[in-house]
Amino acid sequence: MSHLEAHAVSVSIDSEMLLAPVSFAVPPGTALAVRGANGSGKTTLLRLLSGHLRPTTGTALLDGRPVDERSRTARRGISARIGLPAFARELTMHEQLRFIATTWGRTGSTATDAADATMRALGIFELRNRFVNELSSGQTQLLAVATALVRPFDVLILDEPEQRLDAHRRDLVAAAVRREIDRGASVVIASHSAELVASIAGATVTLGQP
């Protein structure tokens, strides 16, 4: 399992600061909640931790090495869901998840089992034969979360997974994420939901306006 840490990371473009310097560590089997007002840099921080953005100052490390999505190890280790992904409209929900699992090396029945387990955990198994255009916005959000959970990972990064979800579905997401923490995964989650943060995260970092 992997250890994620950030040392005084900040992001600015020209003279505009998008993320004020922040430091923290997320050991295996723990979760960190990132909180803050709109525009405080939560999504920027998550993009930085997933290796899709380079910090202007400071360093983000995965097991002591700078996080960079060009590294195969980083791509395999970090599963990040920031915004809605590009779904394949010609596949059903179950097929989308099986196909994603297959591309990550879980072939045949292993991929099917992973898709089944993820869908059951998020309460969307009954929707397995639906195409993406047949989902409500909340169901689409659950499918987006499922795409991050169905593949193997050591670090899970989720950006406001509670969006468009009712209280029951938020609880299902929280329970699914807790299972990953219990398995030993490091989790970073940005959220505006106090209940979700309380039920998942052991530590919280609150970003101020940059």
Size of the site for another protein (CB under 8 A): 34
Question: Which member of 104, 140, 163, 199 binds another protein (CB under 8 A)?
Answer: 104
Query: Which residue lies nearer to another protein by CB, 71 or 199?
Result: 71
Residues in region 46-65 near another protein by CB under 8 A: 50, 52
Using the rule CB under 8 A, is 99 a contact of another protein?
Answer: yes
CA distance 178 to 139: 20
Contact 28, 35 (CB under 8 A): no
Q: How far is the CB of 158 from another protein (least distance, A)?
A: 12
- Asked whether position 85 contacts another protein by CB under 8 A, the answer is yes
**CA–CA separation, 171 vs 177, rounded Å?**
10
**Nearest-10 Cα torsion for 64, 65, 69, 71:** -120
- Which window, 10-18, 75-83, 185-193, 196-204, contacts another protein (CB under 8 A)? 75-83
Give the β-pairing of 4-13 and 16-26: antiparallel
Q: How far apart are CA 40 and CA 65, in angstroms?
A: 26
- Part in contact with another protein (CB under 8 A); list of ranges 33-41, 81-89, 116-124, 165-173: 81-89
Q: Is 156 exposed, middle or buried (0-12, 13-18, 19+ CB in 10 A)?
A: buried
> By CB under 8 A, which span of 23-31, 83-91, 118-126, 183-191 interacts with another protein?
83-91
What are the DSSP calls for 79-91, one per residue? EEE-S-----TTS
Note the residues at the interface with another protein (CB under 8 A): 50, 52, 69, 75-76, 80, 82-83, 85-92, 95, 98-100, 102-105, 107-108, 111, 129-131, 133-134, 147, 151
